[in-house]
Structure 1
């Protein structure tokens, strides 16, 4: 049986290069990964919503499952919104019901938005971009990394289209696909509390979900950079549960 392919979805203000360390670790273990560039990060002019992000994710995963690959989708931070929306009908079970091979077999949320269908941050759409100042990058994204490494990472940060934050989810993939959530306990305290709230809400009595594992790690917002070997080992372990 072939190994699953990892689709890595970066967060706001980042590019696929943020995954470089993790991609290297996965490759060492013989796993292929694909990290698409999501247009709401770095687009000029800024995108008015997240529809182009969803389209890129949809096309990326559709292409892979069309080749009958099993897919594990890894979402970081903001991309939990777009990833959770884009995967409608691409899960393994849905495709098998149509006598189609391949499909998404597992979701891995890394301190990412895990929200229900119809979620909207605010109905009052704002346009333009939001940027992270280099001096704020450590507290926001790279809490436990050395300043020299951060100085290189901030060179790759992009302006984020502000309008993408106000789009509305149309699907909740975690209700249909086996899901793990990773909480990074050295992240900002407010982010840690928010992540725990999202998980608790999704697992509340009467809520249909497929969240079957919660892992807490002593890491900041980007463990795939600070703890790339650990992250790769967790991803591989979780992927193998669903293949």
Structure 2
């Protein structure tokens, strides 16, 4: 059995595992074992063959396999990855498993400017709730087959940072199934697993008002949420790497 939590990094739309290489390496240097599975919705198929349901199933299978090998997992979720992890990890919490006489499980959910939604919630639904539906076609370029790219990933998705580093980062991006933005989740792992939220104050993809709204909703449901802030854009794993690693260490009690 592993002696400290294993990080299951659940990525966002457009991202491949390689997109998180800087964060992954920093977490590994800090002593964590890190897993970054590829979302089926990022398989490049046109028209798409996978969306939230397939991403949920794949993430749950990956997590269960780690747990069955003796791992205790901290889920670090970025952007759309919050929707996937929220939907996929229910019933896998360490407390829930311990009550069944089982070891391991998911010890913590860390939402890194990620969608922490209620049952039947979706990314697009949150945008509509916040009154910003008209901005969707301005930010995202949807093809006829529903695949989607950002119209300006360097500015809208990443934000301020080292230009050369950002250029290399966005070069790893791929076309994503835009239907996943509209798919709704069925289960909420945050109702049963401890929650923390990394707020990005300069975010143009999931604005800070969205993030605070999600935090307050969860708190309103009687769940404690630890909040950590970093003054950067939507990809703190790239532009606030040290802060994120520090937050993870604090959250997990290292």
TM-score, normalization by structure 1: 0.89
Where does residue 137 of structure 1 map in the other structure?
Answer: 153
Partner Cα distance (1:100, 1:219) in 2: 40
Counterpart check, 1:58 vs 2:45: no
- 1:105-124 equivalences under 5 Å are 105-120=107-122, 121=124
2:192 corresponds, among 168, 176, 185, to: 176
Which runs of 5 or more structure 1 residues have no equivalent in the other structure? Answer: none
Q: Residues of 2 paired with 1:193 and 1:140: CA distance?
A: 16
Deviation at 1:79, TM superposition (A): 1.2
Match of 1:203 among 209, 214, 219: 219
Separation (CA, whole Å) in 2 of partners of 1:111 and 1:97: 31
Alpha-carbon separation, structure 1, partners of 2:159 and 2:16: 19
Alignment TM-score, normalising by the size of structure 2: 0.86
> Of 67, 72, 76, which residue of structure 2 is paired with 1:74?
76
2:135 corresponds to which residue? none
Aligned counterpart, 1:128? 146
Question: Shift of the alpha carbon at 1:48?
Answer: 5.2
Q: Secondary structure, in 3 states, of the residue corresponding to 1:150?
A: helix
Paired positions, count: 233
SS at match of 1:20: helix
Question: CA shift at 1:62, angstroms?
Answer: 0.2
Q: C-alpha separation between the residues in 2 aligned to 1:210 and 1:38?
A: 29
- 1:76 offset after TM fit, Å? 0.5
Please, what is the CA RMSD of the aligned residues?
1.9
- Per the alignment, residue 231 of structure 2 pairs with 218
Structure 2 unmatched ranges of 5 or more: 126-143
- Counterpart contact for 1:176–1:210, Cα < 8 Å: no
How many angstroms apart in 1 are the aligned matches of 2:204 and 2:227? 18
* Equivalent residue number for residue 5 of structure 2: 4
The ranges of structure 1 where at least 4 consecutive aligned residues each deviate by more than 3 angstroms after the TM superposition are: none
Q: Is the 8 A contact 1:41 1:160 kept in 2?
A: yes
Take 1:176 and 1:100, find their aligned partners in 2: how far apart are those partners?
A: 16
8 Å Cα contact 1:13/1:160 also seen in 2: yes
Residues 54-73 of structure 1: CA deviation (Å, up to 9, x unaligned): 11110111011112211000
